[in-house]
A and B are shown apart, each in its own frame.
Chain A
Amino acid sequence: MKLLFERSTVGHKSELLPCCSTPAYELPADLLRAEAPALPQLAEIEVERHYTELAKQTFGVNDGFYPLGSCTMKYNPSINEDMAALPGFTKLHPLQPESTVQGALEAMYTATELLQEITGMDAMTLQPSAGAHGEYTGLLLIRAYHQSRGDTARTKIIVPDSAHGTNPASAVMAGFSVVNIPSDEKGCVDLDGLRKAVGPDTAGLMLTNPNTVGIFDPNILEITKIVHEAGGLCYYDGANLNAVMGMARPGDMGFDCIHLNLHKTFSTPHGGGGPGSGPVGCKAHLAQFLPTPVVVKTEEGYHLHAPEASLGRMRSLYGNFLVVIRALTYVLSLGKEGIPAASQGAVLNANYLMKKLADLGYDMAYPGFCMHEFVMDIGKLKKETGASAMEIAKRLLDYGMHPPTMYFPLIVHEALMVEPTETESKETLDAAAEVYGKILAEAKEDGQRLHDAPFNTPIGRPDEVGAARQPILRWTPAE
């Protein structure tokens, strides 16, 4: 495909603005750029065709099955987009007087009320812009809490080795050092390991539950108790909330604060990598430290309020507001029956597909029932046939479906992590299983074929090593 710049022709443009109606003002030349930016020059039809071509080489949930583990690639309802495009939301200046944005504040307030009930939390900020940003925010809450008590020796955050990479990275941003603890043979927290890890330097624990291998930790109450008795707080990574919405609440599991991924659990689109939204909920004892501002409701209406001991601001303004509007639309659509039904559907779909793939002969890293996702272990197959997790993933591309998450969690070496979500039909799962069956047969018959895959995609396997060794990060005109 040509780049925008390779389609450019001198003089091509769109007519978008009227002539300037005020006298032309000139700034001194030393304040101006020497030459115009080398942006492409294109007529509108050229822009449209360019991006239509790019869209055709982009695979979204709307194109097909997308069981990317831990990413919850569920269907993104169209009504959400319509609501987020209402001019009464999109045309609001963020610094308008409060009295003129009561509807926007009501939407934010309503969203926090609903999400607090779903998670069992007492207060919430919508400011964090993505999951990792939420983690950072939640850890700063934990830090502020300990500091407010003069408990400054608590410098360590405990993270299981099955955790998302953002967990330890966020902990370091928040000024903590990281203590990694190993998982037990079931992929759950090793209680003895945890007991040994906690102490007077423990600030908190970060945990995903169900964890990244799709298992609900049966000892969750004991885990949070161990941390609390050691004086630490418990942080819930909401990446996997889609397994338990309306069935169990992090607040009832002993967690003090959480983040949600509205772009996973609450159906807002991923946009090719964002914008997401990572609201952070907390129990009452952390509410005074929340980032500023939060929305409060009084008899006179809704207000933006700075919590008394606020940790500060996490970004400008109030968060990814239009993403929150989409999530609010979704929660209101599903309601008290739909929310648990979604999680039940997600768990049923995952177990159904897991059983079908296990029956075909794929090894499961943790056999038995799973929650919303499961992890296949390709290690034995690789030993027998040479076919790795990567090669199976690449061959799946030829069949018009997105591969599972590869090589994560790190505790399974040849991992394929599958999360079908509730919005896929039995027929789609059956068809996917059939493809997985074909690929397994291929691996056993002709290992080389998988090694060369994919065959039907716009490009073959890219040279990633070369890309990193000699980085080309922008287009430059040919000499």
Chain B
Amino acid sequence: MGGYIPNSAAAQQAMLESLGLTSVQQLFDCIPSEMLVDHLNIPEGMSELEVGEMLTAMADKNKRFSTVFRGAGAYNHYIPSIVKAVTSKKEFLTAYTPYQAEISQGVLQSIFEYQTMICQLTGMDVSNASVYDGATAAAEAVVMCQERKRSCAVVSGALNPHFIEVIQTYCGSRGIPVEILPVQNGLTDPAALSAALKADDACVLFQNPNYYGLLENCDALTEAAHAVGAKAVAVVNPMTLGILKTPGAYGADIAVGEGQPLGIPMAFGGPYLGFMAATQAMMRKLPGRIVGQTTDAKGNRAFVLTLQAREQHIRREKASSSVCSNQALCALTAAVYLASMGPDGLADCAKQCLSNAHYAASEIAKIPGFGLRHNAPFFHEFVTECPICPQLLNEKLAEKGILGGLPVEGGILWCATEMNNKNQIDRLVEILKEVAAQ
């Protein structure tokens, strides 16, 4: 109602008088009168109590599942209490992009630490300060690989379909050809990739673990890309990098992904975190903000936004991307999460995801009609067949408070994380057995 305006009517009147005016309306005399709005057709303002009730009622209309066996790009992980405590600090919450380094060392240092941890996870040399989400990170990676005589992006069909669609949007408008490589038994086949690659292709994108949860032959895919002089872009899940071989180790030029598993709530799809890391050679092609270390006038360590000659506010139409606001608070969230988990905690969490998923897969696959669709190593997602309509199955699970796997291509894409312990999995399996027996 009040618009959070502290000034009283009397104060506003005094301010108007100082301007030689009698009404605030006079300040809007510059607007052609025919377009002045008489009144907006929206509800009257509400008290904090009322608006709180209204939003809470909306939130209560949603069904919260006590058990989640669904991933497919958004993952149900445990979020340590300290993560919300730190990211709720109003200094972090209400600061702008740190243009004034002298009073922004806290947020700048937090980004520098985030960049370092993304490099440690991915095995890459440099990281930016984040972009909007994993899909836009993948699309920006394709743009980074553009060279004067290399344009086409060859994209694994086993990439998350939303990522493929966003890559097509970003590339379509710039005239970058995108070729989707067919999936074979749930995987990207290195031989088929080699056969498809042309001498002037710009890059190859693959996801590990891929959309079906399977582990790709990353060494061979990277090698195939490099054999024709194309860049290799790995789309990775940062949680899995607690134990999995890093993009740096298999020689990827760029590693990108969705940072949501690192302490960010599923929250109906956002805000999430697009992370981007690259080799030193590609540093100046990274889009968006980057924080660097320097010294102040007295020689003390200091942090600043750097390499700004790449960016839109300097380069305008020659910028590498228009990204300005990014996902800084989500990057802070990921950093606090990683600092809390530490190397052992992250590896333990990744192993629990792996073990729970393999237990679930082996138990589900024993049920008639629920066989595993693919025969390849997987991480914490896997596809099974489904003897009945997958939607119908999920309705039965929903009645028991369980969000089942995502229906894909006639089967079901299941996910297990550290949140799905043996009891939860056994309960799921019991229900599936009942369904199979009917």
Contacts and interface: CB of A to CB of B under 8 A. Distances in A.
Most central of A75, A274, A393, A458 by chain B CB within 10 Å: A274
Interface size class of A (residues with CB under 8 A): 35 or more
A87 interface: yes
B419 to A, nearest CB: 10
Given A87-B64, A348-B16, A58 B42 contact: no
Contacts of B298: 459-460
B267 A321 contact: yes
B276 interface: no
Interface in B309-349: 309, 311-319, 321-330, 332, 335-336, 338-349
Interface stretch (B166-174, B199-207, B381-389): B166-174
Contacts of B318: 172
A273 B297 contact: no
Interface in B271-299: 271-272, 283, 289-298
B15 A315 contact: no
Contacts of B418: 17, 20
Contacts of A86: 55-56, 59
The 3 A-B pairs of least Cβ separation, nearest first, read A88-B59, A335-B45, A317-B269
Contact of B89 (A55, A118, A408, A472): A55
A424 B78 CA distance: 39
B127 A474 contact: yes
Contacts of A459: 101-102, 105, 296, 298, 300, 302
B339 A40 contact: yes
Nearest to B80: A16
A34 B140 CA distance: 29
Contacts of A355: 18-19
B257 to A, nearest CB: 11
A121 to B, nearest CB: 13
A381 interface: no
B207 to A, nearest CB: 13
Given A31-B245, A55-B89, A97-B398, 20 more contacts: A17-B352, A20-B418, A42-B342, A56-B106, A62-B94, A75-B4, A165-B312, A173-B173, A248-B37, A252-B35, A272-B92, A272-B98, A314-B136, A320-B270, A322-B271, A334-B3, A369-B19, A393-B100, A423-B5, A464-B101
Interface in B358-375: 358-359
Contact of A60 (B91, B303, B346): B91
A315 B329 contact: no
B64 A88 contact: yes
A314 B58 contact: no
B55 A107 contact: yes
A96 B68 CA distance: 10
Contacts of B436: none
Nearest to A128: B132
B58 A313 contact: no
Contact of A345 (B3, B30, B117): B3
B228 interface: no
B426 to A, nearest CB: 10
Contact of B1 (A68, A335, A345): A335
A328 B85 CA distance: 24
A344 interface: yes
A247 B306 contact: no
B63 interface: yes
B2 to A, nearest CB: 7
Contacts of B91: 55-56, 58-60, 62-63
A402 B94 CA distance: 12
A17 B78 contact: yes
Contacts of B356: 20-22
A333 B45 CA distance: 5
A462 interface: yes
A170 interface: yes
A478 interface: no
A172 B74 CA distance: 31
B146 interface: no
A274 B327 contact: yes
Contacts of B195: none
Given A83-B52, A89-B268, A316 B166 contact: yes
Contacts of B59: 83, 86-89, 103
Interface string A346-384: 011101100110000000000001010000000000000
